[in-house]
Chain A
Amino acid sequence: MSTTQTDVDKRDSDKSFRKLLGENPRPAAVWLGVLALLLALEIGRVFAGIDTLFAVIGFVVDLFAATPAAIGGNVAGTLGPAAGAVATVVFGFALAFAVSIPVSEYVPDATVDVLGLELSRRGHRWAKRVELASALVAVAALIAYTPVGGAFSAAIAAITGSVDALSSALPSLTSRELISNTGHRTPDGGWDDTFLGLSPAVAWAIRTGLVFAYATALLAWVWRGYETYRTHYRGADWTPTDDTVRRFRSNYWGLFGFAIVFIFVVLALWAPAVSPVEAEHNIYEPNANGFEYLDENGEVQEVNHVFANLDSRSDGQNTVGLLSYDDYDRWAPLGTTNRGQDMMTHLSYGARTSLTIGMTAIGLGAFVAVVLSLLSAYYKGITDIATVMTSDTIQAVPALLLIMLVSVVFQEADHPIAQPLDGGLLLALIFAFTLWPGMWRAIRGPSLQVSEQEWVDAAKSYGQTPLRTMQKHMAPYIAGYILIYASLLIGGVIISTAALTFLGLGINPPTPEWGRLIDGGRTYVATSSWHVATVPGIAIVLVVVAFNALGDAIRDAIDPEADVDEAEAATAGGGA
C-alpha cells in the first residue's frame, strides 16, 4: 500500500513544486484562468455554497461552544451548582486542549520560552499546548461573558449577511431566472413567461442539460489540472498513483459506477436548478406561494401551490405520470408524489439529503477510525485493548436497532442536535458512531504493520513527535484502505437512511428523502400511480450499485492484491 506516497516529500526530489512553478508558470496560469472563468459562470451558486459552508461552521462552533455549559448544567442538576461550574470550566478547558493538540505544532517556540522554564522537549510540547488551550479559553470567555462578544457576533453576522446577499444577487448560468420553465399557456396555444416562449418541458430539459454539460466541463477541467500538474510540476517522472489511475481508467465497471455517482452528486449539488419547480414553493411552503395558469375558460388565474398540489396527487385514482404536465400546466418529468408534489424536485433534494448524511457519517466514522487506529498502533498496550473493547461493544449491538432507539430518544426529547435537516444530522452522527468500529477493525492490521516498520523507529529516535510520526509516516499507508471501505460502506448508509425514513423514524418531513417517497407510494404499486414507489426505489438501487462498483474498482486500482473483507462491508446496510 504505497499509494498516497506520491505527494510525499516532494522536497526530496530534485526540484520542488514551488520552484517548478516559478520556472514555468504559464500552464498553471492558463489552467487557473479557465477555472476562474468556469466558476464565474456560476458565481451565484459558488456564493450560495460558501453561504451554506458558513452556516455549517457556525452550527458546529455553536454546538461545541454550548457543550461545556450543557454538561455543567447536567452536573449541577445532580451535584449542585458549584460542581456544575467546576464541570463547565474543566470540560471547556479539556475541549480547548483537544483543539490545541494538532494546532500547537504551528505555534512558534518563543511563546514557551517567555515563561523562562527549564523544560525537556516533551515538557516543552505540553507547556505549549496548555498555553494555547488557556488562550483559547480566555478568548472564549471574553466572547461569552463580556461585551466583546456582541461586537464579535455582529462582525460574523455582517460577513455571513453579505455573502448571503451576494449569493442571491449574483447571476448563475443555470439559474431558473435565466432559463425559466415556470410560465403559463396563452389562449392562442403558446407559452408566456418561459424561456424564449418554449414549453416548460423543453426549457427544463435545456436547463438540466446545461447543468450536466457544465458539471462535466468542470470535472474535465479538474482532470486537466491533474494532468498539467503531472506533466509540468511534479518532481518525479513516475509515482505509484500513475499506476492506480491507469488501472482505474481501464476498469469499465468502475467507470460505470463513477458515472452514476457523478450524476448523483450533480443532482444533489444542483438540486435547485434541476428541479422543475422551486422546492421552497412546492414542498416547504406551498401555502405562501402561488403561480399563474390558464384555466378551462381561457383566463389566466392565480393559484396557490397547496391547492394545485391537491389536484395533482398520484394516488391511484389520479395520476400525473412520467413526462407529463399536471392540470395546472406544471411540468413533472418524473410525475408527482402521492401528495401532489413534484417527484423530480423530491428526487434531487432527496439526493442532497442522502449525500449529506452519507458523507458526514462516513467522513466522521473514517476520521475516528483512522485516529484510533494510529493511536492504538503507535502506543499499543492499554490504548489498543480499550479500543478493542469499545469497538466490540458497539459491534455487538445490532446497528439498525441501535440507530432506531437512539434517534427516537433524541427526537422525542427534541434535542437541538435533532433539528438540522429534520433529524438528518442526528442520523449521520449515529451512523458514524456505529460505523467506526468496523472501519477501525479493517485498518487495524495495516496500521499495526506500519507501526513495526524501521522508518517509524527511525522517526522516533530522530526526535519526531508522536503526532508528526503518525501523520507523516503512518497515515499515508492506511489512507488507501480507508478509502476502499468508505466507498463500500456509503451504499449501506444510503439504504439504511431510506429504510428508517420509510418506517417514519429517520428524517421527518418536510426535508425530502427517498425512503418517504417509497412509503407514500407503497399502496399504489399495482395501480396507474406505480411510479411513486418505483422511481425512487430504482434510484436507490442504481446509486448503491454504483457506489459498490466504485469501491470495488478503487480497491482493484489501489492494490489488486489487497485483502479486503467483503463480508464486513456487505453488512453495512444492516439488513435494511
Chain B
Amino acid sequence: MSRWEYFVKRLLLTVPVLFLVLSFLFVMLRMGPIDPVAAILGPQATGGDAQAIRERLGLDEPLWQQYVDFITSFLTFDFGQSWVVQAGRPIIEIVVGAAPATLWLGFWAILLPLFIGIPLGFYAGLNPNSLGDYTASFGGILWQALPNFWLSVLALATLRQTRNGGGPFGFDWYAFGPDFLSRDISITGTPDFDWFSTMDLLFFPVPYVSDWTALAIDVKLILPPALILGSASMAAELRIGRTAMLETVNANFVETARAKGLTSRVIVWKHIFRNALIPLLPVITSEAFLLIGGSVIVEQIFNINGLGRIFFQSVTQGDLPMAGALLFIFTLIILFLNILQDFLYTIIDPRVGYDQ
C-alpha cells in the first residue's frame, strides 16, 4: 500500500469516528441519567413549564427523530442555546467569544516548549553522559511528573509574593516589563487583545499590531500559564529529542558524512538535526491533546475566560448542551490535527506505511 493510499484510508476512517463520537454524546446527554428538564428548571419542576421545555427540546419526539436532529444540528454547528452558564445566549456565540484567549494561551504553550525543550534535548543528546546531559535529563523527568495544577498554585503564590520588590534580588513581577500596579490590573486574567487591529488593504483585512504596550501586557499575562501548560510537553520533547539525537548521531549515514570529510557544523545541522526532528513530530501534534485537557485547569486557576474555563463552568453547573458542544469542537480539532500529522508524516517520512 502506498503512503498516499494509507493517508486516504486514515482520512476516510475519521468519518465513522465522527459519527461514533456524536452518537456517544447523544447517549450521554439525552439518554444518560440526567433529565434535561430538571437540569434547566430544577428537580421539582412539573406541569406546564416542564411540558413547554420538553416540547422546545423535542423530548417528546421519537428517539430516532431526536437522534437525527441531534446529529444534523451538531454537524451544522447549530448547537442551540446555553441552559445555565449564560442562559439563553447561542452557544456558538459564546464559543467564538472565548476562543481567542484559549488560542493565545495555546500558541505560547506550544511555542515556549518548542524553543526550550528541543534545544535542551538536542544538547543533551549531542553531549551524552556529561553533567549537562544528566541535569537536563533529570530536569525532564522531574518536570514531567509535576502536576500542572500544583505548579500553577505555587507559581501564582510566588509571583504574588514579588509584589513591591519582594522577590529574590528585589525582583518584582508586577513591575517587570509593563507595570501592572500603576495600571491597576491583576497578574491573572483574560487578555483583552486591544493591540489587535485590522486595516483594509486592497479590500482584504490585514491584521497588524496597533498598540505594542497592550501586546506586552497580554504576553505578560499569558506567560506563566503558558509555561506551566507546556511543561509536560516540554519534558516529553526533551526526552524524545535526546533519544532521537543519540540514535541519529550513531546512524550509518552520519558516519558516511564524517568519512566524506564534512565539517561537524554541516553534519550536525544538515544531517543530524533534520532527521532527529522526525520522531518529534507526533510529540508536537499530541501536544494539542495535552493543551486542551490542561487548559481547563490552568484557565480556571489563572482566571482566563477561555474555552477551558467555560467548559468547566458548564460541566459543574449542569449546562449539558454547552459541555457537549465544546467537547464536540475539541474532538473536531483533535481529528483535524491527527489528519494534519498523518499528512505531514506522509510528506516528511516516506517510510511510514499501514503495515507497521
> Which residues of A come within 8 Å of B, CB atoms?
78, 388-390, 392-393, 396-402, 404-406, 408-410, 412-413, 415, 445, 491, 495, 498-499, 502-505, 515, 518, 522, 525-526, 533-534, 537, 540-541, 544-545, 548-549, 566-567, 570-571, 573-576
Q: How far is the CA of A319 from the CA of B200 in the complex (A)?
A: 61
B79-87, B171-179, B285-293 - interface stretch = B285-293
Is there contact, CB below 8 Å, between B327 and A405? yes
Establish whether residues B289 and A571, one from each chain, have CB atoms under 8 Å apart when the complex forms.
yes
Q: Is the Cβ of B147 less than 8 Å from the Cβ of A399? A: no
When the two chains form their complex, are residues A397 and B327 in contact, meaning their CB atoms are under 8 A apart?
yes
Which residues of chain B have C-beta atoms less than 8 A from A571's C-beta? 286, 289-290
How far, in angstroms, from A570 to B289 measured CA to CA in the complex? 11
CB-defined contacts of A412 to chain B, threshold 8 Å = 33-34, 39, 318
Distance A545 CA – B142 CA, assembled complex (angstroms) = 7
Given A409-B34, A412-B34, A575-B294: A548 in contact with B63 (beta carbons within 8 A): no
**Docked-complex contact B315 and A405, CB < 8 angstroms:** yes
10 cross-chain CB contacts under 8 A: A396-B335, A398-B289, A405-B28, A533-B153, A537-B154, A540-B147, A545-B141, A545-B145, A571-B289, A575-B232
Q: Which residue on chain B has the smallest CB distance to residue A527?
A: B157
Would A398 and B141 count as touching, CB distance under 8 A? no
CB of B331 within 8 Å of the partner chain: yes
Min distance, Cβ B228 to any Cβ of chain A, angstroms: 10
Which of B141, B146, B293 counts the most chain A CB atoms within 10 A?
Answer: B293
Q: Is there an interface contact between A398 and B153, defined as CB atoms closer than 8 Å?
A: no
Q: With A396-B21, A545-B145 in contact, do A404 and B153 touch (Cβ < 8 Å)?
A: no
Q: Given the complex of chains A and B, what is the CA–CA distance between A525 and B153 in angstroms?
A: 8
> B296 contacts the other chain (Cβ, under 8 Å)?
yes
- Complex: A503 Cα to B13 Cα, angstroms: 35
Contact partners of A522 in chain B: CB under 8 A: 153, 157
Contact of B300 with A by CB under 8 A = yes
Contact A401 B293 (CB under 8 A): yes
| With A410-B33, A574-B293, A575-B290 as contacts: A515 and B148 at CB distance below 8 Å | no
Is there a chain A Cβ closer than 8 Å to B338's Cβ?
yes
Q: Which 8 A-B pairs have the closest CB atoms?
A: A575-B294, A413-B33, A400-B293, A525-B157, A575-B293, A575-B290, A544-B145, A574-B293
Q: How near does chain B come to A314, taking the closest CB pair, in angstroms? A: 15
Q: What is the CA–CA distance of A288 and B145 in the complex, to the nearest angstrom?
A: 40
Query: Interface code B134-149, partner A: CB below 8 Å = 1, 0 otherwise?
Result: 0000000110111111
Cross-chain contact A505 with B316 (CB below 8 angstroms): yes
The reply to whether the CB of B226 lies closer than 8 angstroms to some CB of chain A is no
Q: Which of A398, A406, A541, A576 contacts B334 (CB 8 A)?
A: A398
Contacts of B32 in A (CB 8 A): 409, 413
The minimal Cβ–Cβ distance linking A135 to chain B, given in whole angstroms, is: 33
Alpha-carbon distance between A205 and B100 when the two chains are bound, in angstroms: 54
Is B330 at the interface (CB under 8 A from chain A)?
Answer: yes
Establish whether residues A537 and B147, one from each chain, have CB atoms under 8 Å apart when the complex forms.
yes
**A499 and B34: CB pair below 8 A?**
no
How far, in Å, is B300 (CB) from chain A's closest CB?
7
Q: Determine the chain A residues whose CB is within 8 A of the CB of B39 once the complex forms.
A: 412
Q: In whole angstroms, how far apart are the Cα atoms of A499 and B17 in the complex?
A: 28
Q: Would you call B283 an interface residue if the criterion is a C-beta within 8 Å of the partner chain's C-beta atoms?
A: yes
Q: Is the CB of B28 within 8 A of A575?
A: no
Q: Quote the shortest CB–CB distance from A60 to chain B (angstroms).
A: 20
Query: Within the assembled complex, what's the spacing in Å between the Cα atoms of A499 and B149?
Result: 6
A542 closest partner in B (C-beta): B145
- CB neighbours of A491 from chain B (8 A): 145
User: Could you say which interface size class chain B belongs to?
Assistant: 35 or more
CB contacts (< 8 Å) of B240 on chain A: these are: 566-567
Task: Return the chain A residue nearest B109 by Cβ.
Answer: A575
Which residues of the partner chain A approach B28 to less than 8 Å between Cβ atoms? 405-406, 409
Which secondary structure dominates where chain A touches chain B? helix
Taking a contact as CB atoms under 8 Å apart, the answer to whether B145 and A408 are in contact is: no
Contacts of B296 in A (CB 8 A): 400-401, 404, 503
Which label, helix, strand, loop or mixed, suits the secondary structure of the B interface?
Answer: helix
| A504 touching B316, Cβ below 8 Å | yes
Docked pose: A321 CA to B312 CA in angstroms: 34
Q: Which of A408, A502, A518, A534 contacts B315 (CB 8 A)?
A: A408
Do A575 and B289 touch (CB < 8 A)?
yes
- CB-CB < 8 A to A518: which residues of B? 149-150, 153
| B236 cross-chain contacts in A, Cβ below 8 A | 566-567, 570
Asked if B150 and A540 sit within 8 Å, CB to CB, the answer is: yes
Q: Is B161 an interface residue (CB 8 A)?
A: yes
Chain B nearest CB, measured from A72 CB (Å) = 15
CB distance from B72 to the nearest CB of A (A): 19
Residue in A389, A495, A515, A525 whose CB lies within 8 Å of B20:
A389
A401 cross-chain contacts in B, Cβ below 8 A: 292-293, 296, 311, 326-327, 330
Q: Could you say which residues of chain A place their CB within 8 Å of the CB of B146?
A: 541
CB atoms of B327 and A398 under 8 A apart: yes
Query: Residues of A contacting B3 with CB < 8 Å?
Result: none
Give the one of A499, A574, A575 with max B CB within 10 A: A575
Q: How far, in whole Å, are A400 and B326 apart by their CA atoms in the complex?
A: 13
Residues of A within 8 A of B145 (CB): 491, 495, 540-541, 544-545, 548
Q: Out of A396, A404, A498, A574, which one reaches B290, CB within 8 Å?
A: A574
B283→A567 contact, CB < 8 A: yes
Q: Report if B323 contacts A (CB, 8 A).
A: yes
Least distance between B96 CB and chain A CB atoms (Å):
19
Closest residue of chain A to B235 (Cβ to Cβ) is: A570
Q: Is the CB of B312 within 8 A of A404?
A: yes
CA distance A28 to B38 in the complex (A): 64
Is there contact, CB below 8 Å, between A399 and B34? no
**B282 at interface by CB-CB < 8 Å:** yes
Task: Look across to chain A and name the residue whose beta carbon is closest to the beta carbon of B154.
Answer: A525
Q: Within the complex, which residue of A399, A541, A575 is in contact with B297, where a contact is CB–CB below 8 Å? A: A575
Which residues in window 299-356 of B have CB below 8 A to A?
300, 311-312, 315-316, 318, 320, 323-324, 326-327, 330-331, 334-335, 338, 356
Cα-based distance from A499 to B147 in the complex (angstroms): 8
Q: How far is the CB of A485 from chain B (nearest CB, A)?
A: 16
Closest partner residue, chain A, to B150 (CB atom): A537
Other A-B pairs, 14, CB within 8 Å; known A537-B150, A537-B154: A392-B17, A396-B17, A412-B318, A413-B32, A522-B153, A545-B145, A570-B232, A570-B239, A570-B283, A571-B290, A575-B229, A575-B293, A576-B147, A576-B297
From A390, A413, A574, contact of B289 by CB (8 A):
A574
Of chain A, the residue at the smallest CB distance from B318 is A412
Q: Please determine whether B316 and A408 come into contact, CB atoms closer than 8 angstroms.
A: yes
CB distance from A302 to the nearest CB of B (A): 38
By the criterion CB–CB under 8 Å, are A398 and B17 in contact? no
List chain B residues, Cβ under 8 A from A533: 150, 153-154
User: Which B223-254 residues sit within 8 Å CB-CB of chain A?
Assistant: 229, 232, 235-236, 239-240, 243
Residue of A445, A504, A576 contacting most chain B CB atoms (<10 Å): A576
A398, A502, A574: the one contacting B149 at CB < 8 Å is A502
Residues of A within 8 A of B232 (CB): 570, 573, 575
Pairwise interchain contact B157-A397, C-beta atoms closer than 8 A: no
- Residues of B within 8 Å of A499, CB to CB, are 147-149, 297
Contact A548 B282 (CB under 8 A): no
Chain B, 97-127, contact with A by CB distance < 8 Å: what is the 0/1 string? 0000000000000000000000000000000
Smallest distance from the beta carbon of B293 to chain A beta carbons, Å? 3
B16 at the binding interface (Cβ < 8 Å): yes
B271 at the interface (CB under 8 A from A): no
Question: Which chain B residues lie closer than 8 Å to A502 at the CB level?
Answer: 149, 297
Q: How far is the CB of A125 from chain B (nearest CB, A)?
A: 33
